[in-house]
Amino acid sequence: MPTILPIVTGKDTDILHRSTDRVKDPLQSDIQNLLPVMFDSLRAANGIGLAAPQIDQSIRLAVVEVENERLVLVNPKITSFSREKILFEEGCLSLPGQFFLIERSERITVRYQDETGKEKKRKATGLLAIVIQHEVDHLDGILIADRYERDKRKRRT
Ligand SMILES: [Zn+2]
């Protein structure tokens, strides 16, 4: 039986706006036990990405499942953003029924540790790049509703 955690929702919920703590050791049993639960919860919600604050854990950890690719991102950091942007209507499991047109870099490079603690670096484009940027935003306490408002203010000035 998969274990499915409830997803924290609401644009004013405190934990979704907090910056997260680094994961010290991905091999720690609490992290190792959390990973399959995160993937089960993600699938149960029909999502493509889930960040730890969305299951009430304020740590730098996210899982992504998109285009048959499954990624565990421990302490991810985006190290390069392309100047070419794409606009995409994004949803979020924490903001059910809400969609926001968000501008993101079309290509990124992300450094992270995988579930074995190994340091990785990879390039991503298109939907995968969008999802990774969305999840890293979660780890910095930023929701798409916040980013949308911020970009709108920027466009006005
Ligand atoms: Zn989200």
Q: How many CB atoms lie within 10 A of CB 144?
A: 22
How does residue 68 score in pLDDT terms, banded at 50, 70 and 90? confident
pLDDT at 1 over 80: no
What is residue 157's predicted lDDT score, i.e. its pLDDT?
66
pLDDT (average), residues 46-56: 97
What average pLDDT is seen over the chain? 96
Catalytic pick among 69, 115, 135, 149: 135
How does residue 3 score in pLDDT terms, banded at 50, 70 and 90? confident
pLDDT (average), residues 39-60: 97
Distance 116 CA to ligand 1 centre (A): 25
What is residue 49's predicted lDDT score, i.e. its pLDDT?
98
All domains of the chain, ordered by start, with CATH? 14-156 (3.90.45.10)
The angle formed by the CA atoms of residues 137, 117 and 63, to the nearest 5 degrees, is 35
pLDDT (average), residues 135-139: 98
How does residue 106 score in pLDDT terms, banded at 50, 70 and 90? very high
Interhelix angle for 144-156 vs 126-139, to 10°? 100
End-to-end CA distance of the chain: 52
Q: For the chain, how many residues are written?
A: 157
Measured between alpha carbons, how far is 17 from 15 in angstroms, rounded to an integer?
Answer: 5
How does residue 152 score in pLDDT terms, banded at 50, 70 and 90? confident
Distance 29 CA to ligand 1 centre (A): 25
Which residues sit with Cβ closer than 5 angstroms to ligand 1, an ion?
92
Q: What is the DSSP string of 40-109?
A: HHHHHTT-SEEEGGGGT--BSEEEEEETTEEEEEEEEEEEEE-S-EEEEEE--TTSTT--EEEEEESEEE
Within 13 Å and on the Cβ side, how many CA atoms surround 40? 11
Residue 135 among the catalytic residues: yes
Structure tokens at 44: 């149960």
pLDDT at 74 over 70: yes
